[in-house]
Amino acid sequence: MHSILQRGNAILAYTLSVLACLTFVCFASTVLLNYRTHADLNTVKVVVYVVLWDKIILRGENAVLDFKNMNTKYYFWDDGNGLKGNNNITLTLSWNIIPNAGLLPNIFAHGSHSFQFPVDYTTSRM
């Protein structure tokens, strides 16, 4: 009788050829079916995500952050005029972890802060 390795080899070779056939069939079917086009919903509604501030903390540095009266590090701009009178500005905090080696998780902190921007520009310093 054939040894286990020979049987395994036969099974693997057979799986490979079946996979190759399946791949070709799938490829052919997508070529045939992909004629549908997606309608472009030309809506103006836009969600904007902007980074206002960031900080790099190296391993071993103090990771307890306590800041007051800070300025934003990056300009709070959007590409248009969606900020004036916007009634849903939400501030969130998230961070990346760069490990020695491994996955790169992107973690969102619990909680957030929402506020509104006034309809008119301020004329004096707040």
Identify the residue among 1, 31, 33, 58 touching another protein (CB under 8 A): 58
Nearer to another protein, 45 or 125 (CB): 45
Rounded Cα distance between 123 and 79, Å, is: 23
Q: Residue 86: is it exposed, middle or buried by C-beta count within 10 angstroms (0-12/13-18/19+)?
A: middle
Contact criterion met (CB below 8 Å) for 65 and 98: no
- Binding positions for another protein, 66-105, rule CB under 8 A: 74, 77-79, 94-96, 98-104
Nearer to another protein, 47 or 64 (CB): 47
C-alpha 94: how far from its chain's center? 12
- Shortest distance (Å) from residue 123 CB to another protein: 27
Please report, as a single letter, which amino acid is at residue 15: T
Contact residues for another protein, defined by CB under 8 A:
40-51, 54, 56, 58, 74, 77-79, 94-96, 98-104, 106
